[in-house]
Amino acid sequence: MTSLAVVTGGNRGIGRAVCARLAADGYKVLLVSRDAERGRRAAAEIAGDVECVPGDLTTMASVRRLAEELRGRSPRLDVLVHNAGLWPSRRVLTGDGVEESFAVNHLAPFLLNHLLADRLGRVVQVTAGLYVKGRAEPGRTCVGADFSAMRTYADTKLCNLLTVPLFAERWREAGITIDAVHPGVIRTGLGDRGGPLGWLLKAVKRSWGTPEEGAAPVAALARGTGSGRYFDQDREVPLQGPAVDRELAGRVWAEAEELTAAR
């Protein structure tokens, strides 16, 4: 039976390259894209069995609609790759009253993991090494307090990473596995800006890795069997700093449960 993989943010960058790799490996791939037209175009251009599923990760209601759509597609989701990410340039609150990158980078994967758990086999969380620069402050991070484009992005990645070992423990008896991976410094549209700063960033990005290079460790982990681990590209490394704070992880988890109404 053909294995099924779901990839969020699959219409461009690393996500699109992951879809292509998994399709080449024989997976049926559901490419989740906020922009339905771009998603359908990307799916059509990738060789293999790839289908676009429109999905918005910015509000919890839209995440729930996506989960229902995915549940209706198959009784088994062999691989779920949380790739969608947002690097904010300014503080924006969603309809739920939370900072937008916090919603997309942290709450959306958290809620999807809960809503799809009875169908999951393997979860791969794409993250960023910048988590080491982040702070997780329940009650403040969620609303973008003291907003800074760089720090806020790092904050959301730290919050997300704090929950990965907890999911691994929670799912151990069910046989669901989850690992996180920093794919490297990759040349994608993430964090693009306008004006002189944007031009400078584009020039710097020319020396960064390609989306295909970033996709390699992600796709490799999709076929993995371990759980609760963190990888810097293809190397397993220990989490650092506040990411290993169990008490903080518990508070971040409890806040996410409250904000998503996930139990």
Is 131 an active-site residue? no
> What pLDDT, on a 0 to 100 scale, did the predictor assign at position 205?
38
What does the domain layout of the chain look like in residue ranges? 4-260
Rounded CA-CA distance 197/172 in Å is: 45
pTM across the whole model: 0.92
The model's pLDDT over 116-154, given as tens digits with 9 standing for 90+, comes to 999 999 999 999 999 999 999 999 999 999 999 999 999
Average pLDDT over residues 200-208: 42
The model's pLDDT over 78-115, given as tens digits with 9 standing for 90+, comes to 999 999 999 999 999 999 999 999 999 999 999 999 99
pLDDT at 65 over 80: yes
Kindly report the average pLDDT of the chain as a whole number.
Answer: 92
**Class for the domain spanning 4-260:** alpha beta
Are the CB atoms for 159 and 180 separated by under 8 Å?
no
Q: Which of 27, 131, 153, 230 is catalytic?
A: 153
Indicate the pLDDT class of residue 190, thresholds 50, 70 and 90: low
